[in-house]
Amino acid sequence: MAEIDADTVLPAEHIQQAVASGRVSQLHRGDQYADEGDTFDISGKTFEVVEVTERKLGDLTNEDAQAEGSEDLDGYRERLNHAHDHFEWDDDVTVYRHRFERQE
């Protein structure tokens, strides 16, 4: 358990602001960037990484997409295609879900 920089797990300012506002409560990444129990601060608010889970892209659901700020899984796929050059959705690719909660 460590205090980490928000940039470590949340790679863009707009994602950090979405987390701070409560619109985003998890993020899938290609690698594991935090451990359960790690904390980070955004705009004076502290968040704890409460779960890190290895998954396959094909396991993601509409609920996962919504927790990441997309309307549904199709919108999430479009967002990934837009954000990453040469991205192709592959159901068998391993990703890591980083789920976090605001601490009081």
pLDDT for the residue 83: 83
pLDDT for the residue 86: 82
Q: Which of 42, 10, 44, 13 is nearest to 28 (CA)?
A: 10
Q: How far apart are CA 24 and CA 83, in angstroms?
A: 17
Note the pLDDT tens digit of each residue in 35-94: 999 999 999 999 999 999 999 999 999 999 999 999 999 999 999 888 888 888 899 999
Q: In the predicted model, is pLDDT for residue 19 greater than 90?
A: yes
Q: How far apart are CA 85 and CA 5, in angstroms?
A: 26
